[in-house]
A = this chain, B = another copy of it.
Amino acid sequence: MYSGAVQDLIDQLGRLPGIGPKSAQRLAFHILTEPQRDVDALVEALQEIKRRVHFCAQCGNIAEEDLCAICSDARRLPTAICVVEEPKDIVAIERTREFRGLYHVLGGAIDPIAGVGPGDLRIRELFVRLAGGRVTEVILATDPNVEGEATAAYLARQLAALDLRVSRLASGLPVGGDLEYADEVTLGRAFEGRRIME
């Protein structure tokens, strides 16, 4: 229905995750009427992220240097490693200010249906880091879903042979949530993990 260049942009935007045909159309029209310098800024940002950003040689987090900002920070504790699925999980954990150690990004979770096995994740790289001998604690912070739990269980088995404290993030009711609206799995976990009040 649209002339070439408009349809091309709608197609390109429609390939992005979470952007359907209607959103792509609205975005294309927005860009059409936007000042040239705003579109230039977007194009520049798209090119810069590909040019400057890559993945940390040690932990797999996003980085603009060889090591990411966390791995190259001497104030972080090198004795604890928190294992996550994706770099964005690191940002979420950093916001809590609860953890002062280092991270390790797996690049996903074990998912047989999608054809992702342990060999497709950065598990070998994790064991190379652990072989260094400085790490005493590993926190498994994969997602609390089927794939994340399977990955945590797999890693826990593999790590059992090493002399390490291995822990998993607690599952339970979200803070500020309403018990009535919790799904039964979450509520079951909250019971299972109940704590003695002192």
Chain A residues with CB under 8 Å of chain B are: 1-6, 8-9, 11-13, 15-19, 23, 25-32, 36, 38-39, 41-43, 45-53, 62-64, 68-69, 86-88, 91, 94-95
Contacts and interface: CB of A to CB of B under 8 A. Distances in A.
B48 A5 contact: yes
Contacts of A62: 2-3, 6, 32
Most buried by B among A26, A42, A91: A42
Contact of A27 (B16, B52, B94): B16
Nearest to A107: B33
A181 to B, nearest CB: 21
B8 A45 contact: yes
Contacts of A94: 1
Contacts of A30: 16-17
27 contacts: A1-B94, A2-B62, A3-B63, A3-B64, A3-B68, A4-B52, A5-B45, A5-B48, A5-B49, A5-B53, A6-B49, A6-B53, A6-B62, A8-B45, A8-B48, A9-B48, A12-B42, A16-B31, A18-B23, A18-B26, A18-B27, A19-B27, A29-B86, A32-B62, A36-B50, A39-B46, A43-B46
B31 A49 contact: yes
Contacts of A25: 88
A27 B46 CA distance: 11
Nearest to A15: B38
